[in-house]
Structure 1
């Protein structure tokens, strides 16, 4: 595919770009629809397979989630960590509560495998509001697109298929394909190389400060954070960074024109 430059406008600022990179969870996929349901199922299964010496709510809190209010910390392990990192945090919390380390690790791994065999991702996955129209418009204009995610490569490819985006996203960089995940820029720069695009003609859309830090470190044209301000990104958005960053609530606040 040849290079096609388009203009992306956000907050009245224009960027000439030929590629867009996306985070997956919370950006392409509605976070709560999948990952809070997954955590619900994991903790239920864990409680059925081992005598858990800690409250369920405390385990959820350890990975940055509140399953009562159905909210999550955008900077917590569930939001920005890999699946294996989330399992490790849960195992550590169980260990600190009295289980032997090997018992804690085995219990979490076993519960995760059980959940993965029956949890219906197809029934749970909802696209983030506005994302399908946004990607459809970008594809019509010939924009190159990729995904850089903290999730595993195979699961990400499966999720893109369930969203119907497998033909729009050319490159996928999962956490298991790089040595360092976001906020390290390794995955972002690898995606640019595989797309054959210059970082300075690329933007990243994500929902966490880790996404914006990776965009900044990679020297992208800009980073766009969905969902507004986070408690941990004041320095990034101070205006003193090496690239401009933007906060938006919806994809509709970003326009793409030839």
Structure 2
């Protein structure tokens, strides 16, 4: 039996499902830069939409700070495009034109990001993944990003090999906070949801885990952790026992 523990709390597990942004990779380092590039492209499309309010962000010097309960943190790519296009429509652009402009801006932003590759792992992640691998824990990613983009970001970090499955919002009918992604990820690991725990940085991750019937939902980062089974700031706070030597 393999147990994952944090402080006095512990859970028997066979698998772990990870969110990506803010859980595997540092959210601000990646999406702060993405947002800056995108906002530059959106400027001049018509009117004066409040893009910061639309995305749930605020300016902070040379960067932006996101609302962990907002669209930038939780929305899928499709939802983000719809939100931004609606603001252009509200300013007088035809809906089809608004969607085309935003879609093009997002595509160009993603291309520029590929050149920059501003990815940085969360504290303690790399050693934790290795500990999980040594213990025989199966691992998957469930993200609101598209699957292809998620695969790319994992490759940038050099950690794709640790995950037996990657499930993006484009692979399910309903994204977070619905349970679909977690259920599919567990299915592809050959596990029942109750045999796995979820690690994420938003309430949507925790709700998804609960609705899927997962063993636990662990919150990482500084967001409101109400409803979570545990709250950690670093993967160094998680220990593993069984499946090999105890480590933590």
The two structures have a TM-score, normalised by structure 2, of 0.91
1:85 aligns with 2:69: no
Partner of 2:157: 163
Partner of 1:247: 231
CA distance in 1, matches of 2:2, 2:222: 25
1:190 aligns with 2:174: no
CA distance in 2, matches of 1:84, 1:213: 21
Deviation at 1:122, TM superposition (A): 5.2
Change in CA separation of 1:213 and 1:121 when aligned onto 2, cut-off 3 Å? farther
Q: Give 3-state SS (helix, strand or coil) of 1:67's partner.
A: strand
| Contact in 1 for aligned 2:117/2:156 (Cα 8 Å) | no
In structure 2, the gaps of 5 or more residues are: 243-248
CA distance in 2, matches of 1:139, 1:13: 21
- Aligned pair count reads 240
CA distance in 1, matches of 2:17, 2:172: 16
2:59 to 29, 53, 67: 67
| Contact in 2 for aligned 1:23/1:147 (Cα 8 Å) | yes
| Contact in 2 for aligned 1:34/1:121 (Cα 8 Å) | no
Deviations for 1:200-225, whole angstroms, at most 9, x for unmatched residues? Answer: 12100000000000111111111100
Partner of 2:36: 40
CA distance in 1, matches of 2:45, 2:217: 45
In structure 1, the gaps of 5 or more residues are: 238-244
Q: Give 3-state SS (helix, strand or coil) of 2:161's partner.
A: coil
2:17 to 11, 16, 21: 21
Deviations for 1:67-120, whole angstroms, at most 9, x for unmatched residues? Answer: 335211112111111112111111111222333322322221121222233333
1:219 to 192, 213, 217: 213
CA distance in 1, matches of 2:2, 2:116: 33
Deviations for 1:133-184, whole angstroms, at most 9, x for unmatched residues? Answer: 1111111111100000000011111111111111101111110000001111
Q: Give 3-state SS (helix, strand or coil) of 2:47's partner.
A: coil
CA distance in 1, matches of 2:45, 2:150: 33
| Contact in 2 for aligned 1:229/1:247 (Cα 8 Å) | no
Deviation at 1:229, TM superposition (A): 4.3
Deviation at 1:121, TM superposition (A): 5.6
1:208 to 202, 213, 220: 202
Change in CA separation of 1:188 and 1:121 when aligned onto 2, cut-off 3 Å? farther
| Contact in 2 for aligned 1:205/1:226 (Cα 8 Å) | yes
